[in-house]
């Protein structure tokens, strides 16, 4: 694999959920630290870049060897800003790269082996994009939305729903 393999991690102070990316999680590490450590342990990532507006998160990231070559602008730290917009902004700020891995800090149980396995699979299968998923134990056929009048409405149409979990297809 070539040089220029970068990982970007978005952390914003103003996110509603979680309220901050700095609070302690297992072992007293912040979500940002878990993410940075997994990135550093990856066999295939050459560079870790943080996209954030929060000085405390930036300070912690730099302490753990993550680059912060720019600050995320205010219009990209709103509650409704998609991660992809922050990632695209980050890509505009750094030099060329062979590939980019988005490491979201809200997935702290991801390990370096997960990152590396995904990268190897991506290259082996000739992909243009890759996303990690987890199988859910609740079939989407059982999922409902709560209406304003407190009634439940199924997300899927009746003919798409399974009555028994065993009859439902595997879902991710």
What share of the chain in percent tops pLDDT 70? 83
Q: Which residue has the tokens 């917009």?
A: 85
What CATH topology corresponds to 5-124? Spore Coat Polysaccharide Biosynthesis Protein SpsA; Chain A (3.90.550)
Q: Where are the domains of the chain?
A: 5-124, 133-172
- What's this model's pTM, rounded to 2 decimal places? 0.73
> Is 19 a residue whose pLDDT tops 70?
no
Residue 25 banded pLDDT, cuts 50, 70, 90: low
Mean pLDDT of 107-135: 89
Measured CA distances, 120 to 8, 145, 157 (Å)? 18, 38, 38
For the chain, give the mean pLDDT: 83
In this prediction, residue 131 carries a pLDDT of 85
């Amino acid at each position: 694999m070539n040089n220029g393999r970068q990982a970007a991690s978005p952390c914003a102070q103003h996110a509603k959920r979680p309220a901050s990316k700095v609070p302690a999680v297992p072992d007293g590490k912040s979500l940002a630290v878990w993410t940075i450590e997994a990135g550093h342990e990856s066999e295939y990532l050459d560079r870790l870049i943080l996209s954030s507006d929060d000085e405390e998160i930036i300070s912690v990231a730099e302490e753990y060897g993550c680059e912060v070559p720019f600050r995320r602008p205010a219009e990209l730290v709103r509650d409704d800003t998609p991660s992809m917009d922050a990632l695209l902004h980050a890509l505009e700020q750094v030099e060329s790269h062979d590939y980019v891995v988005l490491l979201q800090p809200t997935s702290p149980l991801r390990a370096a082996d997960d990152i590396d396995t995904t990268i190897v699979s991506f290259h082996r299968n000739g992909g243009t994009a890759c996303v990690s998923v987890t199988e859910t134990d609740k079939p989407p056929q059982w999922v409902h939305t709560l209406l304003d009048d407190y009634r439940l409405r199924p997300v899927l149409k009746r003919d798409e729903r399974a009555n028994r979990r065993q009859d439902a297809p595997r879902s991710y």
